Chains A and B, each alone.
Chain A
């Protein structure tokens, strides 16, 4: 059974700092990995999607990497801002007949202090 773990559970940093969020998964036979942002009282918003054949994806100040063989992904946020404060979740998608399922981590609660 695929398990997804995110460390740390919570992170507090001063504004302007670069930071890394971690995601690990137990079964490397994934189809892709996705990073989401969740604001309080809101649904999930997709940030980055990395296919299993890719090593990284970038969007603005965000960079996500994927090391499928070791079962790890990182989300790098450059020059953090208070507006980045949110919970960040990663999710993996299996292929084949279960390609409608995403397995989520529990998230990292990020607080960026002004």
Chain B
């Protein structure tokens, strides 16, 4: 397996634009995590899916953020409209349930100007 695949690797967008980040988890994994990493706040859990169902989205900072998992092999994190303070590295991770056994993707570095 190629591991957790995220796209794009880098995204630069203007304030107010819609941004969509994509994640393909490892085949067979039933848990998917979206994290955000910033210098100020470190790595934070945004949302957790189990069997394609959002279990906990309490980490999603604002209504501008939304996430979907239409099937077991694909998830998206959307920001609309984007703001400069959304600039961060966004990671997707997947596991067979236990977060300590999760595999991380390489992340998407988002810059909003």
Interface residues of A (CB under 8 A from B): 32, 34, 41-46, 49, 89, 91, 93, 99-102, 104-107
| A–B Cβ pairs within 8 angstroms, 28 of them | A34-B100, A41-B107, A42-B106, A43-B4, A43-B91, A43-B93, A43-B107, A44-B43, A44-B91, A44-B104, A46-B101, A89-B42, A89-B43, A93-B100, A99-B98, A100-B50, A100-B56, A100-B99, A101-B48, A101-B56, A101-B99, A102-B45, A102-B99, A102-B100, A104-B43, A104-B44, A105-B42, A107-B42
Partner of A101, one of B4, B45, B93, B104: B45
How many A-B contacts if CB must be within 8 Å? 52
Which B residues touch A101, using CB under 8 A?
45, 48, 56, 99
3 tightest CB-CB pairs across the interface, nearest first?
A43-B104, A106-B42, A104-B43
Interchain CA distance A43-B100 in the complex, whole Å? 14
The contact string, 1 if C-beta is below 8 Å from chain A, for chain B 44-83, is: 1100101000011000000000000000000000000000
Interchain CA distance A91-B45 in the complex, whole Å? 12
Cβ-defined contact, B4 with A100, below 8 A: no
Which A residues touch B107, using CB under 8 A?
41-43
Q: Is the interface of A mostly helix, strand, loop or mixed?
A: strand
Cβ-defined contact, B48 with A100, below 8 A: yes
Taking CB atoms and an 8 Å cut-off, the chain B residues in 16-44 that contact chain A are 31, 33, 39, 41-44
Which A residues touch B44, using CB under 8 A?
104
Interchain CA distance A31-B44 in the complex, whole Å? 18
